[in-house]
Amino acid sequence: MTPPPDPSSTHFKGWAKPGPVPPGLGSGITLEAGETLDAISGHFRLFQLKAGHRFSTDDILAAWYGTTWCPTARRVLDLGSGIGTVGMVAAWRLPGATFVTVEAQEESVALARKSARYNGLSDRYEIRQGDLRTPGILSAGEQFDLVLGSPPYFPPGTGVVGDHPQKIACRFEIRGDVGDYCRTGAAHLAPGGFMAVVFPEAPEQRLRVEEGARSADLVLVRRRPVVFREGEAPLIGLYGLMRSADLPEWFRAQTWVEPPLVIRTAAGSVHPEYSAVKLAIGFPP
């Protein structure tokens, strides 16, 4: 009897993973105890801690949304980059772009650097350790066509604290909120550049994105709600921002609200539209 196809193999049900095969394990790159090595996009893999922060749909969608609306970006900045999920999906989608990422947690930076080596990104992917609000972490003259961010969602003390430092910093605003992300991004957006962030879609949370954008002289040009199960209310939103100075005055007062992106059908299967998103980041649907 023929064994079933292996979903982790290069070919699965007639579908071939696009893109170059990265160097992989070896050459000093090893999988340590307490770590996992997981598919992230195409042949790219991500080192994660079993007990720490794990990448989420939110992160993947932030990378997809930003690269979809700024597909010709040559210089990309990823703020609060964590273990590298957003930046590395974007790097797979933009093979000609160079990247700078900023992350404060030493443990997350070490994992991201390991993943960058594994994926063969070291020559175009710079990971800086530090608080994105700290002067000097980005020089005044650095500009980027695309800025990405997956900010923490909650002020300290407003939710259940995780059991690992990585989880706490990813959920709670220990080192800045969405407004800080907007201000840092705006300061380093090239003329005509695009910034994409993911944040909760609840009205009070969306208001925080709008206020953060105004404080940074950014315009929320487009927004896409994300529904995790068909028929339910959207839980998160994808937000696209541009510098006010780059837009005509008549355009600054409006936001194009896109139709919701649905992740799963009411029956629980992957929604066809999310299947198309998965294909766009190098996964079989």
Q: What interhelical angle do 85-93 and 57-69 show, nearest 10?
A: 40
DSSP-based three-state secondary structure for 39: strand
Residues near 39 by Cβ (< 8 Å), separated by ≥ 6?
A: 8, 45, 46, 283
- CA–CA separation, 249 and 246 (whole Å): 9
Residues near 249 by Cβ (< 8 Å), separated by ≥ 6?
A: none
Nearest Cα residue to 184 out of 198, 197, 170: 197
- pLDDT per residue, tens digit, the chain (285 aa), is 444 444 445 544 556 777 778 888 887 899 999 999 999 999 999 999 998 889 999 999 999 999 999 999 999 999 999 999 999 999 999 999 999 999 999 999 999 999 999 999 989 999 999 999 999 999 999 999 999 999 987 676 666 656 666 555 566 566 789 999 999 999 999 999 999 999 999 999 999 999 999 999 999 999 999 999 999 999 999 999 999 999 999 889 889 999 999 999 999 999 999 999 999 999 876
- CA–CA separation, 247 and 62 (whole Å): 23
Instruction: Dihedral sign for Cα 82, 35, 167, 59, please.
Output: positive
Q: Are strands 256-257 and 218-227 parallel, antiparallel or unpaired?
A: parallel
pTM of the model: 0.90
The pLDDT value given to residue 2? 43
- One-letter amino acid identity for 233? A
Q: Which residue is associated with the tokens 């949304």?
A: 65
HSE-up of residue 57 (Cα within 13 Å, Cβ side): 18
The pLDDT value given to residue 81? 95
Please, what are the domains in the chain? 56-280 (3.40.50.150)
**C-alpha angle 261-57-190 in degrees, rounded to nearest 5:** 80
Nearest Cα residue to 223 out of 204, 208, 201, 203: 201
